[in-house]
Chain A
Amino acid sequence: GQSLEQPSEVTAVEGAIVQINCTYQTSGFYGLSWYQQHDGGAPTFLSYNALDGLEETGRFSSFLSRSDSYGYLLLQELQMKDSASYFCAVTSGGYNKLIFGAGTRLAVHP
């Protein structure tokens, strides 16, 4: 089977840095993606890691360690608008689908 674990909730203050971890168990792993979802909205792509290492896109970075079946999303200079749910998702087995984790609800406070 396939499973992903990520924290259910994270709280941080504006301007801070927060890291959301994701561990996975899957077969035929191709890569790890991160999606952001605001309440009532659609999932929005943030990043994709197929190889080990860090990918940086503006204030957001994502890391993958294939040997540890582990990745994280790093959000810097947090803003109130970053309050949302963040989902890690693996592409595995079948090449044409995303398997999502349960999501981490990030609350950013002033």
Chain B
Amino acid sequence: EPEVTQTPSHQVTQMGQEVILRCVPISNHLYFYWYRQILGQKVEFLVSFYNNEISEKSEIFDDQFSVERPDGSNFTLKIRSTKLEDSAMYFCASSVNTGGTEAFFGQGTRLTVV
């Protein structure tokens, strides 16, 4: 069964450092997303991406965040200068269509900023 894969599964970084979280969406999907979940809390939308550009972003997704699809398979989230409050599980997701159709989530990257 096709799945969204994320690397690394865990990332520990020092405050102020840059991190890049990587995702390989399902190959025939057109819409890509990043969500995050602080431990014990709800899943929060960060950004959606379609046709090689951001289609929507939340207030969380400020200038410290960026996304890129550097080739035909990878989808990355970069945090330029990490803060303690960026510590969370980051989920990549993809879908064939938009509008509430099934989004497939990866297993997540647990980011710990120290």
Point out residues on A near B: beta carbons under 8 Å. 30-33, 35, 37, 41-45, 48, 50, 87, 89, 91, 94-103
CA distance A40 to B105 in the complex (A): 13
A contact residues around B91 at 8 Å (CB): 42-43
Contacting B56 at CB < 8 Å: which of A32, A42, A97, A100? A97
* Residues A98 and B103 in contact, CB atoms below 8 Å apart: yes
Kindly state the separation between the CA atoms of A56 and B58 in the bound complex, as whole angstroms.
32
Q: What's the nearest-Cβ distance from chain A to residue B49, in Å?
A: 9
B99 interfacial contact with A, CB 8 Å: yes
| CB atoms of A30 and B44 under 8 A apart | no
Count of inter-chain pairs, beta carbons less than 8 A? 62
Pick from B42, B50, B56: contact of A101, CB under 8 Å: B42
Cα distance, A31 to B98, chains bound together (Å): 11
A28 to chain B, nearest CB (A): 11
Q: Please, how many angstroms separate the alpha-carbon atoms of A97 and B35 in the complex? A: 10
Contacts of B99 in A (CB 8 A): 30-31, 50, 91, 95
- Contact between B105 and A87, CB atoms less than 8 A apart: no
List 9 extra interface pairs beyond A50-B99, A97-B48, CB under 8 A. Answer: A32-B100, A42-B108, A45-B103, A91-B99, A91-B100, A94-B48, A96-B31, A97-B45, A100-B43
Which residues on B sit within 8 Å (CB–CB) of A100? 42-45
Contact B42 A87 (CB under 8 A): yes
User: Is the C-beta of B25 less than 8 angstroms from some C-beta in chain A?
Assistant: no
Q: Are A50 and B100 in contact (CB under 8 A)?
A: yes
Q: Once the chains bind, are B108 and A48 in contact (CB under 8 Å)?
A: no
- B100 touching A87, Cβ below 8 Å: no
Take A42-B91, A44-B105, A45-B103 as given contacts and tell me if A96 and B98 are in contact as well, using a CB distance cutoff of 8 Å. Answer: yes
**Given A30-B100, A33-B100, residue A43 in contact with residue B42 (CB < 8 A):** no
B8 to chain A, nearest CB (A): 15
- Contact assessment for B107 and A45 in the assembled complex, using a CB-CB cutoff below 8 Å: no
B25-68 residues at the A interface, CB under 8 angstroms:
31, 33, 35, 41-45, 48, 50, 55-56, 58
